[in-house]
Structure 1
Amino acid sequence: VHDKLAGTDTTETRWYISSLDQNAEQALNAVRSHWQVESMHWMLDMTFREDESRIRKKQGPLVFNVMRKIAMALFKQDTTKSASMARKKKMAGLDDDYRSTLLESGIKMR
């Protein structure tokens, strides 16, 4: 692990138990992909309170999940403001110009 502030490197050992027959590289990829998904779910819950959502009928949960992920992608790629996801969400809700900037950048992503 590299500490940017101190400029030092440290080594950490993590132990995992698995019934899968895999080598170290495959295990590393499995663990990393798992934590990428967990990180995204955590961000969706902290920023959008996804776990508290009361949307339950028909395609509503899927549609809102996709909309939240699109919003999260727009916030992540935005370099015009240096702010947290939650702060960017609030600014997008209150500032028409900022919201337009986000949406226009999303169109350019394609």
Structure 2
Amino acid sequence: IDERSYYLVKVPTDFASLKDWPWIKAIGYAVRITQHADGTESDEVRYYLSSHYLSGKRFGEAVRGHWSIESMHWVLDVNFREDEHRTRERTLGNNLSWLRRFAVTLLKRHPDKDSLRGKMMSCMINTDYLTQVLSLQRV
């Protein structure tokens, strides 16, 4: 069970780093408390600098939106090693990036309870499984 809280305050006028970072309008943090099935509890705090002062609800939406994008980038980098690709031609790079994101979507939509990496390996080994993933059907 996850419980999340978000806090955001306006930057005070006497904030020491304001001269170095004049764009900062608010400072916030997100707290995530997780109760695990074994009864243990863990917490995590993340801090944010913002160029806009938002309502608490909007700040929470922005944080969750940021991490959903970061999550996709992490998947692309870990599973597809996207950061290692050195395509110089812009159109080709954009097309390959789109294909990788499309592949992630297809793999996530396949109903098997396996990791993305496991599904990729299954596609590589078994053409019937690849057909299932590409057609979004279970054979």
TM range (shorter): 0.7 to 0.9
**Could you give the per-residue CA deviations for residues 1-56 of structure 1, whole angstroms, max 9, x where no partner exists?**
33242356677654433231211111111111111111100000000000011222
In structure 1, give the amino acid aligned to 2:57. E
Structure with the higher fraction of residues in strand conformation = 2
| Percentage identity across paired residues of the two chains | 33
The residue that corresponds to 1:99 in the other structure is: 130
- Distance verdict in 2 for CA 1:5–1:54, change over 3 Å: same
Shift of residue 91 of structure 1?
1.4
Q: TM-score scaled to structure 1, two decimals?
A: 0.81
**Greater percentage in helix:** 1
Structure 2 gap segments, 5+ residues each: 1-32
1:3-82 alignment runs, 5 A limit: 3-7=35-39, 14-80=46-112, 82=113
Choose 1 or 2 for highest CA Rg.
2
How far, CA to CA, are the matches of 1:15 and 1:7 in structure 2? 27
Unaligned runs of 5+ in 1: none
Number of aligned residues: 105
Higher mean displacement: 18-27 or 64-73 = 18-27
Is 60-69 or 86-95 further displaced after alignment?
Answer: 86-95
Paired position in structure 2 for 1:87: 118
How big is the alpha-carbon RMSD for the aligned residues of Structure 1 and Structure 2? 2.1
In structure 1, what residue type is equivalent to 2:94? L
